[in-house]
Amino acid sequence: MTGVRPLTAEDTVLVAGGRGLVGRALLRRLAQRGVKRVLAPPRQELDLRDPVAVARWFSTHRPTVVLMAAGTVGGILANAERPAEFLRDNLAMAVAVVDAAHQHGVRRLLYLGSSCIYPRDAPQPMAEECLLTGPLEQTNEGYALAKISGIKLCQAYRRQYGCDFIAAMPTNLYGPGDNFSAEGSHVIPGMMRRFYEARERGERRLVVWGSGRVRREFLHVDDLADACLFLLDRYSGESHINVGTGVDVTIQELAEAMRELVAPGLEIEFDPSKPDGTPRKLLDCSRIHAMGWKARISLRVGLRQTYEWFQDALGKGAVRL
Ligand code: GDP
């Protein structure tokens, strides 16, 4: 695309949220790409919700490119129980980072959202245009509103100040380095942990949250990191861009694949008293496909690789049960 100023080895890149699932994948991808000046300050060093601290950090370190992967994140229960934190923290981080990027002349910024920005009953697969065409899913409304505001901030700064800020909306993510906590995590790490624990305890049956009938699309985080760099190289425009695989599965199918991998023979039972969330969340990825990008890691391969990472992390004490 004309007018796009790709990432170069000379850029100083800030990966905001560099210690998280997405941030760490971005750091791996940037290293492969040969970008040498990559900064990923930990939370203790820079509270991204604090606009004064963020502005000070930008004036000291002078990043030229920003990848905004920071956020207060969590699975369906965490979102439902802590809506104020999800809304407040994510809004504050978006405002602080986008504004500092503008004030300090950052030449490219990529803001990362989530497929939960789309209306609960959006037609499937969900195209970029269906944003703000209907009510949101209640269980993650706070998070979704903050992420929608982040996209709109990038658009507004582009229109008013000419900033080259873009936004990408990934579908449900998973991969090495995920949060494997029992309650606050997303379905893949949460379920992987439960299957593992059930097997270790010699149990015969595992109770899985929800009806098992809702559908989700899962993207390996290394595919997302690849898509982010691809977009920085090829895309400059107002619209956010969906990033997914184009394939979704039911939670029951996911549970069966997980059983095969972690605990063959275990009986699976569903607990419909736990929230199901949105009935289906499949992204329409025609735009990024038309630009020439496609996800490469299948769910089967990605789950196996994530499970290997999980076992290794358990062995090293990096993940505790
Ligand atoms: P969502 O896409 O925002 O709903 O995010 P989640 O990854 O938290 O949940 C996806 C679906 O998986 C929901 O229907 C959950 O009820 C279901 N689910 C089944 N087992 C688990 C689990 O152990 N943890 C989580 N978070 N969800 C689970």
Q: Which of 138, 186, 252 to mutate to test the pocket of ligand 1 (most atoms within 8 A of CB)?
A: 186
Question: Would you tell me the crossing angle of helices 141-161 and 83-103 to the nearest 10 degrees?
Answer: 10
pLDDT at 206: 96
Q: Give yes or no for residue 240 having a pLDDT over 60.
A: yes
Q: Where does residue 215 rank: exposed (0-12), middle (13-18), buried (19+ CB within 10 A)?
A: middle
2 band by pLDDT with thresholds 50, 70 and 90? low
Ligand 1: atom nearest CA of 275 is: 16
Whether 307 is a known active-site residue: answer: no
Residue 220 CA, distance from chain mean position: 10
Which protein residue has the closest C-alpha to ligand 1 atom 1? 76
Using CB distances shorter than 6 Å, the residues near ligand 1 are 75-76, 116, 140, 172, 185-187, 190-191, 194, 208-210, 214, 216, 251, 274-277, 281
Which of these is catalytic: 118, 143, 235, 307? 143
Contact between 20 and 93 under an 8 Å Cβ cutoff? The reply is no
The ligand 1 atom at the shortest distance from the C-alpha of residue 210 is 16
Give yes or no for a contact between 121 and 278, defined as CB atoms under 8 angstroms apart. Answer: no
Residue 57: what pLDDT? Answer: 98
Per-residue pLDDT reduced to its tens digit, 261-276 = 999 999 999 999 999 9
**Res. 19: pLDDT tops 70:** yes
Q: Please tell me the predicted confidence (pLDDT) of residue 302.
A: 98
Q: Quote the ligand 1 centre to 125 CA distance (angstroms).
A: 19
Residue 182 has pLDDT above 90, yes or no: no
Q: Is 168 exposed, middle or buried (0-12, 13-18, 19+ CB in 10 A)?
A: buried
pLDDT at 146: 98
**How many Å apart are CA 191 and CA 42, to the nearest integer?**
28
Mean pLDDT of 220-241: 98
Q: What is the pLDDT of residues 74-85, one digit of tens each?
A: 988 898 899 999
pLDDT in tens, 35-73: 999 999 999 999 999 999 999 999 999 999 999 999 999
Q: What would the mean pLDDT of 124-136 be, rounded to a whole number?
A: 97
